[in-house]
Amino acid sequence: MRGRFQKQVEKKVAEYTASILFDRRLYRQDIAGSIAHAKMLAKQAIISDKEAELIVMGLSSIREEIEQGSFELSAELEDIHMNIEARLIEKVGEVGRKLHTARSRNDQIALDMRLFAKEAISDTIEKLIELQKALLDLAEANKDEIMPGYTHLQRAQPVLFAHHLLAYFEMLRRDVERFHDCLGRTDVLPLGSGALAGVPYPIDRAFLAKELGFSKTSQNSMDAVSDRDFVIEYQAAASLAMMHLSRLAEEIVLWSSAEFDFIELSDAYATGSSIMPQKKNPDVAELARGKTGRVYGNLLAILTTMKALPLSYNRDMQEDKECFFDTIDTLISTLEVFTGMVATMRVRGEKTRQAAEEGYILATDLADYLVRKGVPFREAHNIVGRLVQYAIEKGKSFKELNISEYESLSPLFGEDVYSITVESSIEARNAPGGTAPERVKEALEKARKSLNE
């Protein structure tokens, strides 16, 4: 029997409470934490050097067994911590029972999660930067292409295609910053907090922090075992990143439709229909759009789990893992496929340009033209509004209107009105942050430089 318990736990209860099916993913972190802990115990003469040596050897070989698949993790042993500890005792004997001195599963799991999160954050940042690079490559390769810029999904003003793509580069830059911030707060060692109150042994937490690569140690044992802010922060940052990706996804879906026809996806990043042979579907983009919902759901799940929990550790917190792992896997895989999809897509510059030429997209430029001749902007806006109305009635484009038609709306229109083109419109927008080629060239260079840093 186990300690004070007289009965074995009910099978259904064991299954219900077990976490081994998902926390097995923490085995590397768990073993690394235990190795550092054993070394620290020996250094502080809490156990002997010989004992620590046996424990460290045992733990290293358990890691190999798990990696080779020769060690069966068992649901009866509840979680990854108990599985590894039981195997350690099997392998090195009684001395294995000393490992859990000056430690609790509460500070142990907090440690494992932080170690795992730190790696996940670094991987995520790396993948975000790879996608930024693919976007930048695409922008540079198409730096002269012109497309309509949209508001309300209505053609609004012409822009450079590169300018549009660099908008996503900026979003991802902020995402990288957010994950960096999150890393700073995750990089705190909780080990040494015990179950909640600290430990009654002369432990060396600075040594543990150094061994495990943490730059700070937690200040309050109760906070350290019960805080999962870092899991929530990752998920919040991931939700924002997925939101950004879902917007790019949506544009890719639109752009690859026959209605837009702005891009062509590589065959390797599209799929066919089982019944309609003509179709080439942007499934990757659609799925990314869809998976964004799940990532938001995971954020809400962990926020709700943590809400109103009394201090300190509560078993509820075991529920922090599956949604966290799912979000990490979803974000990282989405970033990976997006990088490939963006790197291999072809921009149909002739089509984007044609779309930018159509309609009355230069209306703002006509108003600005009148402003330069002294008309107040609001009035200029009105005059051009009437001009558009007139042109629509006549079924003519701005270019097709003759000078007397222009003059009938304002005597200030002259022959030079015909020199307003999509190019001149784009060139004119050269205030900082605008789409003028000069500004975009600077932005591309700045972006490249930031990636090389």
Find the shortest distance in angstroms from Cβ 302 to ligand ARG: 13
Q: Does residue 318 touch ligand ARG according to CB under 6 A?
A: yes
Cβ atoms of 71 and 159 within 8 Å: the answer is: no
Least Cβ distance, residue 199 to ligand ARG (angstroms): 15
Is residue 106 near ligand ARG by the rule CB under 6 A? yes
Could you give the CA distance from residue 290 to residue 76 in angstroms, rounded to a whole number? 37
Residue 188's DSSP bridge partners are 216
Rg for the chain, CA atoms, rounded = 31
Nearer to ligand ARG, 23 or 251 (CB): 23
The answer to whether residue 425 forms part of the interface with ligand ARG (CB under 6 A) is no
Distances in whole angstroms, Cα of residue 212 to Cα of each of 55, 114, 208: 17, 11, 6
8 A C-beta contact, residue 296 and residue 235: no
Mark the segment that binds ligand ARG (CB under 6 A) among 102-110, 215-223, 235-243, 361-369: 102-110
* Cβ atoms of 328 and 124 closer than 8 Å: yes
d(CA 393, CA 294): 48
Our CB check for ligand ARG shows the closer of 189 and 444 to be 189
Q: What is the DSSP letter of 271?
A: B
Shorter beta-carbon distance to ligand ARG: residue 23 or 326: 23
Q: Which is nearer to ligand ARG, 79 or 365 (CB)?
A: 79
Q: How far is the CB of 316 from ligand ARG (least distance, A)?
A: 9
The SS3 assignment for 101 reads coil
For the window 367-386, what string marks contact with ligand ARG as x by the rule CB under 6 A? --------------------
Q: In terms of CB distance, is 203 or 317 closer to ligand ARG?
A: 317
Considering the complex, state which of residue 328 and residue 391 has its C-beta at the smaller distance from ligand ARG: 328
Rounded to whole angstroms, the Cα distance separating 376 from 367 reads 9
Q: Does residue 109 interact with ligand ARG by CB under 6 A?
A: yes
**Binding region for ligand ARG (CB under 6 A) out of 158-166, 199-207, 278-286, 310-318:** 310-318
Task: Give, as ranges, the residues between 78 and 97 that touch ligand ARG (CB under 6 A).
Answer: 79
* Shortest distance (Å) from residue 111 CB to ligand ARG: 11
Looking only at the bridges linking them, the beta strands covering 216-217 and 188-189 are parallel
Task: Give the active site residues.
Answer: 152, 273
Tell which residue, 166, 225, 215, has the closest CA to residue 190. Answer: 225
| C-alpha span between 217 and 204 (Å, rounded) | 11
Regarding 19 and contact with ligand ARG (CB under 6 A), the answer is yes
The C-alpha atoms of residue 332 and residue 179 are separated, in whole angstroms, by 13
State in angstroms the smallest separation of the CB of 320 from ligand ARG: 7
Count the site residues for ligand ARG by CB under 6 A: 10
- Distance, CA of 172 to CA of 45 (rounded, Å): 49
Q: Provide the binding-site residues for ligand ARG, judged by CB under 6 A.
A: 19, 23, 79, 105-106, 109, 313, 315, 317-318
